[in-house]
Amino acid sequence: MLIHGLGHRHQVWRALTERLVPEGMRVISIDLPGHGLSSRSWLPWSYSIDATVSRIVETMDSLGVERPHLVGNSLGGLIVLELAARGYGRSVTALAPAGFSPPLHLLKAGAALLANRINFARSPFATSAADDADRPLSTSSPGDRTSFVRRLRSLHSWAGFAGFLPQAFVARFHDELTVPATVAWGDRDLILDSGGLRRAAARTPGIAWVELENCGHFPMIDVPDETARLVMWTVRRASGQPRPVRDGRSSPPGPRDGRRGSPPA
């Protein structure tokens, strides 16, 4: 099960899905509450981590899915860690997860995300909340104030973005994991505080901590092949068979880990 981050939607996993399916994986990617095709609410408590975990568990039950392998990015990375800690996952791969950065860094990251979202609204190719979410919303000038405001209000994930943003500031992951777990981030990530992950790595050696080269905040987009190998390595650890995934090795396929040494298999 693949869970996206703040302001994204399930289509962000397309490249990774194309690489996991040939490995024999059944892939389910969902839209978080207030994002994509999921229902929207302007009630702030609808976007708490606990409420979101409960809704995802309900989705699992409705699909007949029990303890899937979990993969998440950014806010979705924090959510899959929470799901795994509560016993709802067989393995977990968190890509640039929230929940480890200090508050000051989160404020800066939130401002950057908000600026990016507003800049996207200025684009004539900003998308609507319609089912055909890739349809251009308007062909008018990006500088036209009326069309800009309409785009800003119509962005398919604006409700979820606004609802989850405060959660991203306060949520922290402190739980223990009893399933195979990998946390990976990019060495060129301008949103995540990689120092927070490195400090967490020193406290929790049971998790594989991997830093990916030439990668930003979205490994599944920036380095989809490397990300797919990392996910499959984690999945195979859950089966007790960490088969070699690159160069004949059974260690994680990332070029280096957060503790500058090989994490436990």
pTM for the model: 0.74
Quote the strand ranges of the chain, DSSP E: 2-3, 29-30, 69-73, 91-95, 181-186, 208-212, 256-257
Architecture of domain 2-105+172-257: 3-Layer(aba) Sandwich (3.40)
Q: Take residue 1 and report the two structure tokens written for it.
A: 């099960």
- Characterize the bridge pairing of strands 91-95 and 208-212: unpaired
What torsion, rounded to 10 degrees, do the Cα atoms 255, 256, 261, 265 define? -60
Dist. CA 199–CA 207, nearest whole Å: 13
Backbone angles phi, psi at 187, to 5 degrees: -75, -5
Q: What is the pLDDT of residue 67?
A: 95
Kindly list the domain boundaries of the chain, sorted by start residue: 2-105+172-257, 109-165
Residues 214/222, Cβ–Cβ less than 8 Å: yes
Q: Enter the tokens of residue 245.
A: 């995934």
**CB atoms < 10 A from the CB of 11, how many?**
13
What are the tens digits of pLDDT across the range 5-47? 877 788 899 999 999 999 999 999 998 887 777 767 666 667 7
3 state SS of 244: coil
pLDDT in the model for residue 232? 97
Q: How much is the pLDDT for 247?
A: 36
Task: Return d(Cα 117, Cα 11) in angstroms, integer.
Answer: 17
How far apart (Å, rounded) are the C-alpha atoms in residues 145 and 12? Answer: 29
Rounded to whole angstroms, the Cα distance separating 234 from 264 reads 12
**Predicted local distance difference test score (pLDDT) of residue 160:** 64
Give the list of residues 6+ apart from residue 42 with CB closer than 8 angstroms, or none.
Answer: 159, 163
Q: Which residues are 61's β-sheet partners?
A: none
CA distance 250 to 265: 8
Per-residue pLDDT of the chain (265 residues; tens, 9 = 90+): 999 987 778 889 999 999 999 999 999 999 888 777 776 766 666 778 888 999 999 999 999 999 999 999 988 999 999 999 999 999 999 999 988 876 666 666 666 666 665 565 555 444 433 333 333 222 233 344 454 444 444 455 566 666 666 676 667 677 788 899 999 999 988 777 777 787 777 777 678 999 999 999 899 999 999 999 999 999 999 988 655 444 333 456 544 444 333 333 3
Predicted pLDDT of residue 94: 96
